[in-house]
């Protein structure tokens, strides 16, 4: 728990000592490699608020309570199985000031301009970290959201910007984490996630080809069938998406995709930070066990591969990242 003294110190640093943030970036102890000793990468995600996506379940303002969010993040990061965090500058800097990111992988979220529900949502401008800041601040990589809508011209500048970011990160030897999601507009103009394997495999293939090299590109994908996960050799991480009513359903969905040899880990936000029973530590521990078990399965080469063929929906609903950040 964040103590009152820690919270007051954080607020005072924000108001009176902005240079403390630069010092915190510089003082952070970095890991020497992205993957854990088990060959996995487990990140917690907290870049939803910067896109205006604050709701979890029935609470539209759940993530608006910053002290609660930070406390939940620190609880998750305290688990040794959690390798790091994905977030926007404000969240990352608060965690730095709370001394919570030593020896952790830190991925900076980059394009947050496609505000949830906005008319221009698909034209997802880069409004947070850029490659220069990610490198200069000693972060380990950058994440970008790539929503593909064939009927929306806003897809084009987002594609181009993501390609440039992939190239710039690779030039610096930093991870480019791309989250490709195919969408279409329904009769009412609402964005609807395309969950079929053909659409997801197409989106992943487009993302894999961005930039001047794919050497440092990782994909962030929903729980998907083998033909999606096997459409590229790039390493992939399974995203959590919108939490279901039962954490056990989420865990089962993630676990099936985690058995695929391309999949190296998890990037989970609300499902672990705001579990139905409120027990963040227990939710994180359960996800860590699923990851460990699935990775052992994948490395053994044993078992029924058909068991890994899960529909692209699983615990994910039509909102996906596109609405809930």
Count CB-CB contacts under 10 A for residue 163: 19
Phi, psi of 273, rounded to the nearest 5 degrees: -75, -25
| DSSP, res 307 | G
In a domain, 69, yes or no: yes
What's the pLDDT at 301? Answer: 65
Give CB contacts under 8 A, 24+ apart, made by 71-77.
71/1, 71/2, 72/273, 72/274, 72/280, 73/44, 73/46, 73/100, 73/273, 74/2, 74/98, 74/100, 75/280, 75/281, 75/284, 76/44, 76/272, 76/273, 76/280, 76/281, 76/284, 77/44, 77/101, 77/104
Beta strand 175-185 with 191-193 is antiparallel
Structural domains in the chain (count): 1
What's the pLDDT at 310? Answer: 32
Nearest to 159 by CA among 111, 194, 120: 111
Domain CATH number, residue 259: 3.20.20.70
In a domain, 216, yes or no: yes
In a domain, 23, yes or no: no
What's the pLDDT at 124? Answer: 96
Tens-level pLDDT at each residue, the chain (325 residues): 899 999 999 999 999 999 999 999 999 999 999 999 999 999 999 999 999 999 998 899 999 999 999 999 999 999 999 999 999 999 999 999 999 999 999 999 999 999 999 999 999 999 999 999 999 999 999 999 999 999 999 999 999 999 999 999 999 999 999 999 999 999 988 999 999 999 999 999 999 999 999 999 999 999 999 999 999 999 999 998 777 788 999 999 899 999 999 999 999 999 999 999 999 999 999 999 999 999 888 777 644 443 333 333 333 333 344 333 4
In a domain, 9, yes or no: no
pTM above 0.85, yes or no: yes
What's the pLDDT at 184? Answer: 94
Supply the angle between the helices 4-16 and 89-97 in degrees, to the nearest 10.
120
How far, in Å, CA of 86 to CA of 88, rounded? 7
Q: What share of the chain is helix, strand, coil (3-state, %, to 5)?
A: 40, 15, 40
In a domain, 200, yes or no: yes
In a domain, 173, yes or no: yes
In a domain, 147, yes or no: yes
Residue range(s) defining the domain that contains residue 295: 38-324
In a domain, 17, yes or no: no
């Amino acid at each position: 728990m964040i103590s009152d003294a820690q919270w007051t110190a954080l607020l005072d640093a924000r108001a009176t000592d902005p240079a403390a943030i630069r010092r915190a970036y510089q003082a952070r102890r970095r890991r020497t490699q992205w993957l854990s000793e088990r060959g996995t990468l487990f990140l917690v995600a907290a870049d939803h608020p910067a896109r205006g996506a604050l709701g979890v379940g029935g609470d539209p303002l759940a993530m608006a309570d910053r002290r609660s969010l930070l406390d939940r993040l620190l609880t998750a990061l305290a688990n040794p199985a959690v390798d790091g965090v994905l977030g926007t500058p404000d969240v990352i800097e608060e965690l730095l000031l709370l001394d919570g990111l030593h020896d952790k992988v830190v991925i900076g979220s980059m394009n947050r301009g496609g505000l949830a529900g906005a008319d221009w949502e698909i034209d997802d401008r880069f409004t947070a970290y850029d490659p220069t800041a990610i490198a200069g601040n000693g972060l380990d990589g950058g994440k970008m959201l790539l929503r593909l809508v064939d009927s929306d011209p806003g897809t084009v500048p987002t594609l181009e910007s993501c390609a440039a970011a992939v190239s710039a990160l690779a030039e610096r030897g930093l991870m480019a984490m791309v989250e490709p999601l195919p969408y279409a507009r329904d009769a009412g103009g609402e964005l609807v996630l395309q969950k079929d394997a053909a659409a997801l495999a197409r989106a992943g293939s487009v993302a894999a080809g961005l930039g001047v090299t794919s050497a440092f590109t990782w994909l962030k994908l929903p729980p998907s069938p083998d033909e999606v996960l096997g459409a590229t050799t790039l390493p992939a991480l399974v995203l959590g998406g919108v939490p279901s009513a039962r954490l056990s359903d989420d865990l089962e969905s993630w676990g099936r995709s985690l058995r695929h040899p391309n999949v190296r880990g998890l990037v989970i936000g609300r499902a672990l930070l705001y579990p139905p029973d409120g027990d963040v530590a227990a939710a994180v521990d359960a996800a860590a066990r699923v990851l460990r078990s699935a990775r052992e399965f994948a490395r053994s080469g044993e078992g029924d591969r058909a068991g890994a063929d899960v529909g692209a929906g699983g615990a994910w609903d039509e909102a996906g990242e596109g609405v809930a950040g």
